[in-house]
Structure 1
Amino acid sequence: MAELKQYIFFDFEMLCSNTGMTFASMEAIRLGAVKFDIETEEITTFDRFIKPTSAKPLSEFCKDLTGIHDRDLKDADDFKMVFEEFLTWVGGIKKSRFFSWSPSDIFRLKADASIHEISESTINKIEKRYVDFQAIFTKRVSKSNVSVETALHLYDLQFIGEKHNPMFDAYNTLRIYINFLNQPVKSDLIMVSRFIFENDLYSLDQINTYLNDKLRQDLHFLIDQCDIYPIKSAKKLLKRIRNLVNKYSNILVNRSGVFSYENISLVQYLVDYYYQFLLTYNEHTAYSSKILILDDYLIQPVNHLYSKQG
């Protein structure tokens, strides 16, 4: 695979209606993108209107939402020509990684490429190098799907440019990505706030103390676990432990290095216990067992948890 040299962030504006439309009919009417050179950090932009195959005038709703008017599309090129311009501007798919804020943009690209009979292999190359950055940001920082504006605010940033202009949407998504990469401490503090502390913020010198206290509270119920459960009870317990794993698993990533060894160990024991419990549960349900019996080795992580909290 060619060496990665640039990031391409792209965004589509599409046909829209307040009365509802199928995704297939929501053709792209504007493509905006920014290109970030990894070595030089130079940023270049791309912004083109696209004439859809539909000849219907834009709805008032769509005009208000996108800021696009029929006059903007009258002399615009069709999707195929704009996409060819886009590829020329990109300058090499194999050296690029493509990003958007939600997968709707890659779905739109694939749908319109199919309508206009664009080479499937070209689209496959882009899709192979595509990243849904909103999904990553949700998993690693924000917990829930948030808007570009909200994600910027988490880093104390304001949206730059014109709202609903896809080039500015792409540019601001790049800004979030750069902050996510270059501010791991800030990113982890935001993550802990949103995943664990219900949006309360703690300073860097406080975080491990409060995190340890919260872990102790949440993991205390494991200390008194028995080794025999009715299957229905085991299923409920498994769900409870899985929710805790989802809540704390980002601690193990520890991109910033701010989390203490003790807190990381506690979370690792929790994760190990969950997967061992899940394996045992699946084995028992496969044989239609009504009772789940935990082996001694499954209790060992709990004993570690107890000793760590003692």
Structure 2
Amino acid sequence: MNSNHNSAYASNVVIDLEFTPAGHAGRACKLTDEVIEIGAVKVSPEGRVTGEFSQLVKPTLAKGVGGFVHHLTGIGDEDLVQARPLAEVLPAFLAWAGPGARMVTWSQTDRFQLTHECAAKDLDARELPRRWLDIQRIYPRLIGISRRAVKLEEAASWCGIPFEASRAHRALYDAQMTAELFRMMLAGDLDAQHEVITSQVKSPSDEKPLSSSLGGACGGLADLLASLRAQELACA
């Protein structure tokens, strides 16, 4: 795998969070949800997976895990009895991520959640990484469709990455799937997958392929690198 655009970073940390509604206590401090699980995959500048992080997080505002969240994730109140609160888990995660890490996500939701939850709980948000990259925003352009957002399971399926629905919506598993997509982006493997991907995409007007080649879709590697850099500067 040949990747050089991210060499300024010690690593890329692909992160995924699971939440539960924060309830009345959360709304009192302008917090809609609380983190109940952090999962992450560390990817080296060369594109190798070098480590994983997975911890449950005990909510301090919500009165247990919401029914919908339990159904979606399989996480129940009994699973969080021995878990530590975010005030303890977050420093452990940041220590694991290490200095010089860039956070990689599938959507900006996780970044916003951490920022808002730290503010609501008087945690020092200055410790959060400043460089974040949302690859969900890049993916449709790379594969040449006009849809503005693609679900993680769709993206994985289109790229030939086995996706187990029964394991979805757990933080580490979703981070692993996102990491595989990220590694394909870095390696340029989406170009080889382009014809397969566009043949699987449904064809209403908002999903019609924009181009018959990856080069036409994103203007080549140089344009992709410019897109990545623009996102990073926006997050700085």
> What amino acid is the match of 1:24?
L
- Asked whether the equivalents of residues 98 and 129 of structure 1 are also in contact (C-alpha less than 8 Å), the reply is yes
* Partner of residue 101 from structure 1, selected from 94, 99, 106: 106
Q: Which residue of 1 aligns with 2:60?
A: 53
Q: Structure 1 pair 36/251, CA: closer, same or farther in 2 (3 Å)?
A: closer
Runs of 4 or more, structure 1, over 3 Å off, are 187-201, 248-252
Larger Rg: 1
1:135 correspondence with 2:141: no
Q: Which residue of 2 aligns with 1:170?
A: 175
Q: Which residue of 2 aligns with 1:5?
A: 10
TM-score of the pair, normalised by structure 1: 0.57
Q: Structure 1 pair 66/184, CA: closer, same or farther in 2 (3 Å)?
A: closer
1:90 CA displacement: 0.7
1:129 CA displacement: 0.8
Over residues 141-171 of structure 1, what are the superposed CA-to-partner deviations in whole Å (9 max), with x where a residue is unaligned?
A: 2432111111011112212682211111011
1:191 CA displacement: 7.7
RMSD: 3.3
Q: Distance in 1 between matches of 2:217 and 2:210?
A: 17
> What amino acid is the match of 1:134?
Q
- Asked whether the equivalents of residues 20 and 62 of structure 2 are also in contact (C-alpha less than 8 Å), the reply is no
Larger relative strand fraction: 2
Q: Which residue of 2 aligns with 1:198?
A: 208
Number of residue-to-residue matches in the alignment: 203
Q: Percentage identity across aligned positions?
A: 24
Q: Distance in 2 between matches of 1:170 and 1:62?
A: 18
1:103 CA displacement: 0.7
* Partner of residue 26 from structure 1, selected from 33, 42, 54: 33
Over residues 278-309 of structure 1, what are the superposed CA-to-partner deviations in whole Å (9 max), with x where a residue is unaligned?
A: xxxxxxxxxxxxxxxxxxxxxxxxxxxxxxxx
Q: Distance in 2 between matches of 1:251 and 1:78?
A: 44
Q: Distance in 1 between matches of 2:217 and 2:79?
A: 48
TM-score of the pair, normalised by structure 2: 0.73
Name structure 1 gaps, 5 residues minimum.
Answer: 202-206, 209-247, 257-310
1:120 CA displacement: 3.1
Over residues 249-279 of structure 1, what are the superposed CA-to-partner deviations in whole Å (9 max), with x where a residue is unaligned?
A: 95461339xxxxxxxxxxxxxxxxxxxxxxx
Name structure 2 gaps, 5 residues minimum.
Answer: 1-6, 223-236
Over residues 211-263 of structure 1, what are the superposed CA-to-partner deviations in whole Å (9 max), with x where a residue is unaligned?
A: xxxxxxxxxxxxxxxxxxxxxxxxxxxxxxxxxxxxx995461339xxxxxxx
> What amino acid is the match of 1:136?
I
Q: Distance in 1 between matches of 2:48 and 2:153?
A: 23
Q: Secondary structure at the match of 1:68?
A: coil
1:174 CA displacement: 0.7
* Partner of residue 191 from structure 2, selected from 185, 193, 202: 185
> What amino acid is the match of 1:65?
L
> What amino acid is the match of 1:156?
G
Q: Distance in 2 between matches of 1:101 and 1:39?
A: 20
Q: Structure 1 pair 156/188, CA: closer, same or farther in 2 (3 Å)?
A: closer
1:111 correspondence with 2:121: no
Q: Distance in 2 between matches of 1:28 and 1:43?
A: 25
- Asked whether the equivalents of residues 21 and 62 of structure 2 are also in contact (C-alpha less than 8 Å), the reply is no
1:120 correspondence with 2:125: yes
1:99 CA displacement: 0.8
1:188 CA displacement: 4.8
Q: Distance in 2 between matches of 1:252 and 1:56?
A: 46
1:84 correspondence with 2:108: no
Q: Distance in 2 between matches of 1:55 and 1:16?
A: 7
1:4 CA displacement: 1.4
Q: Distance in 1 between matches of 2:95 and 2:55?
A: 13
1:73 CA displacement: 1.3
Over residues 200-221 of structure 1, what are the superposed CA-to-partner deviations in whole Å (9 max), with x where a residue is unaligned?
A: 99xxxxx58xxxxxxxxxxxxx
